[in-house]
Amino acid sequence: MQTNIIDSLIVKPNTKICLSDWNPTYVGRTDKEEAEIMLNQNLMNQMSNLQYKLFADKSQSLLIILQGISAAGKDSTIRNVMSAFNPQSCKAISFKAPNEEELSHDYLWRVHRLMPAKGEITVFNRSHYEDVVEVRVRKLISKTIWSKRYTQINEFEHFLYENNTKIIKFFLYISKDEQKKKLEERIKNPLKHWKITESDLTEPAYYDQYIEAYEEVLWKCSTDWAPWYIIPANTKWFRNFVVAQIITNTLESMKLAFPKPNFDISKYLRLKNNIWK
């Protein structure tokens, strides 16, 4: 993929965002067939190999955050892209409404305790950003509370970064029509009824408010140490391809290395030649 396409998707720090200026069906000049071949035959393999090196290196970890309005494709992205990772050192975590124990702590408590260990990858399906988006749109807490959280989150993510956790944040951007279409498909398909919540039925009415809330999140919380990427998500194959490419690039930028053995391999080879004849 051309580097300039990925560069065009990153939100530069302190840059106000108007999502109406972004096209959720954008694919650039990317060819679908070529992208799918590259994803399945190249990028998925690279992701797997880099995860293996991350696990061996054990000096860093990777946190991948997926955010988006209801039906944006978070589950699908995990299924189609994160399947490249070995589940022994990668876990996907879905955040729902906080339970009683979580509500008895600060809002970042439930997130912090689930950070990836060194050498591991964690994928968040929703995250601490629900505590500035969902609570704002649904008016669960006052503005005086959630408006302070942008700075708190930036400081929290900077703390993670300084302790060797690399963070990538993806906002999966779909249009209002695409959301309505996907929610209707869930209702029509009995196999997807389990995914429907009562709030899903009212989601389209809140679309504009969610977009406004995300615009502020993207503006105030895209940093050099934890950047946001706006992923055009109406087109699934392009979404998967771009997300995989960004993850691959990020892992490569971590300059991972296999550790040296803690004994002299040459001695083993000499023993092998003498003993295993």
> Which CATH number do you get for residue 160?
3.40.50.300
C-alpha–C-alpha distance, residues 110 and 114, integer Å:
7
Residue 127 has pLDDT above 90, yes or no: yes
Residue 27 has pLDDT above 80, yes or no: yes
Question: Alpha helices, DSSP H only, in the chain?
Answer: 3-9, 32-38, 44-57, 74-80, 100-103, 109-112, 130-137, 143-146, 149-162, 176-188, 207-221, 236-253, 265-275
Q: For residue 210, what pLDDT band results from cuts at 50, 70 and 90?
A: very high
The number of domains in the chain is 1
Q: For residue 126, what pLDDT band results from cuts at 50, 70 and 90?
A: very high
Tokens of 104: 């008895």
C-alpha–C-alpha distance, residues 222 and 217, integer Å:
8
Residue 116 has pLDDT above 60, yes or no: yes
Three-state secondary-structure class, residue 126: coil
Residue 117: domain span: 3-275
Of 107, 146, 154, which Cα lies nearest the Cα of 127?
A: 107
Q: For residue 202, what pLDDT band results from cuts at 50, 70 and 90?
A: confident
Decide which of 268 and 133 is more confident.
Answer: 133
Give backbone dihedrals phi and psi of 167, rounded to 5 degrees, phi first. Answer: -125, 130
What pLDDT shows up at residue 275?
Answer: 55
Give backbone dihedrals phi and psi of 229, rounded to 5 degrees, phi first. Answer: -115, 130
Q: For residue 265, what pLDDT band results from cuts at 50, 70 and 90?
A: confident
pTM of the model: 0.94
What pLDDT shows up at residue 195?
Answer: 80
C-alpha–C-alpha distance, residues 124 and 150, integer Å:
18
Q: What is the mean pLDDT of residues 38-53?
A: 97
Percent of the chain at pLDDT > 90 equals 84
The chain-wide mean pLDDT, for the chain, equals 94
C-alpha–C-alpha distance, residues 47 and 35, integer Å:
16
